[in-house]
Every structure is written in C-alpha cells, then in structure tokens.
Amino acid sequence: MKLLVSPINTEEAVSACNGGADIIDVKNPKEGSLGANFPWVIKEVKDSIDSKKPISATIGDFNYKPGTASLAAYGAASSGAEYIKVGLYDIQTEEQAYDMLENITNSVKSYDSNKKVVACGYSDYQRINSISPMKLPEIGANAGVDLVMMDTGHKDGKSTFYFMSENTLSEFVDLAHSYGLETALAGSIKFNDLEPLKRIKPDIIGVRGIVCGGDRNAVVQEELVTNVKAEL
C-alpha cells in the first residue's frame, strides 16, 4: 500500500516527502474535503520536493458541472499533477457521474495519456445526499478513469469506518480491482484504522488529519508521517 499525504503548501510537502509519503497530494481544506489549491502551488510543491514523488491534486467537491470540472482537471494536469482527483459530491445519478468522469478523463488524457484520473465518492454519501461510492467502480471503468477512491464529504472527525464496515470497504476494493482499477481509501483515518486497512489492502491510503496531530487544519508533521508509514 502506498501512503498519500495531503499538504497545502511547500513546507508541508517537504515534511511529507521526508517522512516517507509515496504520493504528495496538493489540496486546500478551506474549500472542502477535496478542495482545490492554486495551479502555482502545484508547481511550487513539485519543485520543492525536486519531483522525487508523484504529485496528486484535488480539483474540488463537484456538483454536476462537467465542463467546469473538465477545465479544472486540465489545469491540474498541465500544472504538473500526475493524479487528478475529482469529488462527486453533489452528483445524484449514474448518468451524471458518467458524464462528469468521461469528460474529465478525456480532458486529462488529451493532455497526457499517462496522467491518472481519480474518481472519488464519499462514505457518508447518505448525509450529503450524493451517489453511493459502491457504484463508482463500474461507472469509473466505463468512463475510463484509472482509480476510484472513498473519502468523507463532511469533515467532523468521523472516519470512513464510522460510515462503512470493514466488509463493505473490502467489497469496494475488490469490486474496483475486478474492473482493473486501482483503489484508495481516505476520510479522517485514525491510527486504529490502520490495522483494518492493512486487511482491506487498498492500493493507496490517503491522510491529512492523522499526520497533523489529529487536526486537519494544523500542520503536517514529518514525524507523524514517518509513524504512519512505519505502521503500514
């Protein structure tokens, strides 16, 4: 399993890189679970770690705006991100999800076919009135994405394991793998979640709060990144 850590600036990116993160995920928590940061921050983060690790970038928690999302995805790809993550936050139907993901994928792949598109659903989908993430593996595969992910949409300290059982998360990972997709699990992950995550075996585990001392609005700490990496 790879460890993805989400810094908001170059200082945090260096701490994450030095702590052993496998993927550096640029985001902006002020704008939501998958809040987008600025294009120049993506470039600065990549330069700050001397391109030693792959860069991921979130483009936002999106309602049904395939054109806006496609343009944002192109911007993230052209700014240097290898992984481009979109949150299907206010997507109500399978048709909307497919339309979003197909156009985002076309936008990214037309720029660079080696870039990876990440479709993110939410374990707390019922309380945010969004599409079930269990539908994303099939939709994502049909739309041409590379990876499906589960996060929490509302950040109030409740982890993905509060909303989804270990068996359900294993089913999500196995289903995605059956479609040939990579998987990622995130969402207020805590240290006691790491053991079940090792049993579930997603390809990537995404964190921020746990390496900020429990507060995602605090600062990424190199030592905590090292500790999480060691646990995995």
Catalytic residues: 27, 85
Q: How far is CA 2 from CA 21, 27, 137, 162, 202, in A?
A: 8, 18, 20, 22, 9
Q: How far apart are CA 210 and CA 105, in angstroms?
A: 31
Burial class (CB in 10 A: 0-12, 13-18, 19+), 227: middle
CB distance 64 to 98 below 8 Å: no
> Looking at the chain, how many residues does it have?
232
Beta-strand runs (E) in the chain: 2-5, 23-26, 55-63, 83-90, 116-122, 147-151, 182-185, 204-207
Beta-strand runs (E) in 76-191: 83-90, 116-122, 147-151, 182-185
Q: How far apart are CA 115 and CA 158, in angstroms?
A: 31
Q: Which of 207, 139, 150, 140 is nearest to 173 (CA)?
A: 150
